[in-house]
Amino acid sequence: MTARSRFLPGGWLSVYAFLYIVFLYLPVIFLPIFSINTAPTPKFPLTGYTLQWYEDLPHTPALLDAAWNSLIVGVSASVLATVLGILAARSITRYRYPGRRAINGLIMAPLVLPEVIVAISMLLVMLQLGLSLSLFTVVLGHVLVCIPYSMTVLTSGFEGFDRSLEEASADLGESAFGTFRRVTLPMVAPAIISSLLVCFTISLDEFIIAFFLTGTEATLPIYIWGQLRFASKLPGVLALGTLLLVASFLLMTIAEILRRRAARRTQNEGGLYA
């Protein structure tokens, strides 16, 4: 197909694409820029380079507590969501049964529901059940919102998985567990790690559900939210925000590389994009 037969020549479109990428990245880039600026308010012209705001971070006990809480919540939520995701993704890609699509739809629903409504409905039930709000309730909420992402990553890793390999292993005398450990697991391991990283990133950055479901313990986004009320704390928040941005960026890049590797092993494309 020649370029002439298409609507709009690619040239103009690539200019637009470039501008669009700038629009997507520009706001995010201001956080790192002002986090190394000496002036306490974020405005141009820049006044000078400093790492002072970063040096202050480790001397803030509330921040360290929040970071520790986020780590605990993130690890628990990503492990739980990935385990539940593995079961569901395996079931969806391997078996056919009535109600399969409806169940899948229900599991994916938190992706498109307003987060506030998901959060307050969970809050109501937890208060009714007499559960006291804590990091545990935050984990319960995060697992629910992470499962759809975990499912997406894992289905792309499981789909196109050649079942004859497992059958061959069983025929050659491996036990069911042996087949799982020596055939299935190595094939899907990159997808599983990718799911863990994606879920951890989501939990690390998630605010609304944590905001409603936590008791007195803050996670990092809740800590940031609290600091936003004080204009004088802004540079510290910008520095912390930059670190979070870098963390998310690295985790997602690794997750994407692993997901692609998993997809290539099972000769399947798509995943997060499909």
Partner 1 sequence: MTAAAEGSPPLRMTRARRNALLQSEPVQGFVLISPTFLYALILLVLPILVVIAHSFWTQHYLTIDRTFTLENYRIALTEPIYRDLLWRSLYISLTVSLFTVLLAYPIAYFISFHGGRHKSLWLFLITIPFWTSYLLRVMSWKVILGYNGVLNSGLMGLGIIDEPSTALLYNSSAVIITLTHAWAAFAILPIFVSLEKVDRTLVEAATDLGDGPLRSFLRVTLPLSAPGIISAALIVMIPTVGDYVTPKLVGGKDGVMIANAIQAQFGKAANWPLGAALSVTTMLIVSLMAGATVLIIRTLQRMAR
Q: Which of 57, 75, 79, 120 binds partner 1 (CB under 8 A)?
A: 120
- Report the distance separating Cα 180 and Cα 184, nearest Å: 5
Which one, 151 or 183, has the nearer CB to partner 1? 151
For partner 1, the binding residues in 176-195 under the rule CB under 8 A are: none
- Report the distance separating Cα 1 and Cα 225, nearest Å: 52
- Report the distance separating Cα 155 and Cα 159, nearest Å: 6
- Using CB under 8 A as the binding rule, whether residue 244 contacts partner 1 is answered as yes
Burial of 207 (0-12, 13-18, 19+ CB in 10 A): middle
Q: Which of 49, 112, 132, 172 binds partner 1 (CB under 8 A)?
A: 112
- Using CB under 8 A as the binding rule, whether residue 248 contacts partner 1 is answered as yes
- Using CB under 8 A as the binding rule, whether residue 72 contacts partner 1 is answered as no
- Using CB under 8 A as the binding rule, whether residue 21 contacts partner 1 is answered as yes
CA 177 vs CA 53, 76, 166, 181: distances in Å: 52, 25, 11, 6
For partner 1, the binding residues in 33-62 under the rule CB under 8 A are: 34, 41-45
**What's the residue count for the chain?**
274
Closest approach of Cβ 116 to partner 1, in Å? 4
Q: Which of 154, 187, 149, 143 is nearest to 259 (CA)?
A: 154
Stretch that binds partner 1, among 57-65, 139-147, 169-177, 185-193 (CB under 8 A): 139-147
Closest approach of Cβ 99 to partner 1, in Å? 8
